[in-house]
Amino acid sequence: MTTTSSLVATLQGNSYTDPEVFAQEQASIFESLWICAVRTEDLPKPGAFKTVQVGRENVIVVRGRDDLLRAFLNVCRHRGARLCVEEQGEVRRTIRCAYHAWSYDLDGRLAAAPNLVKMPDIDRVAYGLVPVHLREWLGYAWVCLAAEPPSFEETVQNAATERLGDPAAIDRYHVEDLVLGRRIRYDVKANWKLIVENFMECYHCATIHPELTAVLPEFAGGYAAQYYVGHGAEFASRVEGFTVDGGPGFGRLPELSHEQDRRYYAITVRPQVFVNLVPDHVILHRMYPMAADRTVVECDWLYHPDVIASGADLSTSVELFHRVNEQDFDACERTQPGMSSRAYVEGGVLVPSEHHIALFHQWVNQRLRG
């Protein structure tokens, strides 16, 4: 498409609608990179498990008897039945297939099967569960399906450094020690890239986010915090906390610097995580693309343990970003039908305050080209 010097072309419309493009993205992006899977506090004791969709695979994350987290493909090695059909639960000793009763230890080794003693040649490790790479960061288990995963430090942790300009900045929030205060799951009828693009820009903020711009007035000017390395959007002078009514929050997290107080920072960790940092809590989004036009988003609100233990009312704190989420996802759902219009065959355009989104588009194209 032809553009002027002020406008930059977007991806073409079929990038958001074509099932073949979506399948390529699943293989080249979601099945090849590190994916944020589960909050580790959701698996408090041995035998606790959660299942998560990673690309076209279903993955079990389970805590072993040695207290370590491990991840496996959710597939029995006998005839391919799904092992754990629930999204979360707890097993006592083994993960047991309900079809033919093949059972696996929590470390993945084949533990038992009908008539197994009559088949002494079976290698219980080789016929154990297929392992998936796992790392822990920010209190979450991250998994990667690739045989040889990319560097976790370069592809995941460096996203925080690139955004904040200081490797230690995110450490001061001690996200791994915070406690889940609220989790909301959104089923969004839109392509995952539309959600990423929306999060990265604030050209829309003055139009659809009145509560957010009341707390962060600079967003009304159209420039998102992610447009500037190291910059955090400052709270309005009359605002006391990051709440829907501007009322008090819960006090600054203990180790934040003075520069981090009364400021909001946003980080995109490609391909599916948004981290929102404010002085008294952290909001983390995880996206799971289910189809070209459907994405499940889980949003966690994380607080200092003392806040949760006190029984504090989190409602005005949670409500601010819950409204932002609903406003954003509604906009993405309104945009999705236009992706298949003849008016969008060649794509759309980015205005100057959105030009950084072009880097995301370049990254997607590079991943698909291998």
Give the pLDDT confidence score for residue 117 in this predicted structure: 84
Give the pLDDT confidence score for residue 1 in this predicted structure: 47
Instruction: Point out which residues pair with 142 in neighbouring strands.
Output: 36, 135
Cβ-contact 265, 235 below 8 angstroms: no
Is the four-CA dihedral 262, 249, 280, 215 of positive or negative sign?
negative
**160 within domain boundaries:** no
103 and 7 in a common domain: no
322 and 249 in a common domain: yes
Give the pLDDT confidence score for residue 4 in this predicted structure: 54
112 and 72 in a common domain: yes
The alpha carbon of residue 198 and the mean position of all alpha carbons in its chain are separated, in whole angstroms, by 15
CATH number, residue 363: 3.90.380.10
208 and 292 in a common domain: yes
178 and 128 in a common domain: no
**99 within domain boundaries:** yes
Mean pLDDT by 10 residues, the chain (370 residues): 74 98 98 98 98 98 98 97 97 95 96 88 90 98 98 96 93 98 98 97 95 96 80 95 96 94 96 98 98 98 98 98 98 98 97 93 95
What span, in angstroms and rounded, lies between the C-alpha atoms of 78 and 96? 12
Give the pLDDT confidence score for residue 364 in this predicted structure: 98
Give the pLDDT confidence score for residue 370 in this predicted structure: 83
Give the pLDDT confidence score for residue 118 in this predicted structure: 83
Give the pLDDT confidence score for residue 121 in this predicted structure: 86
Give the pLDDT confidence score for residue 361 in this predicted structure: 98
171 and 111 in a common domain: no
- Domain C-terminal end among 119, 150, 181: 150
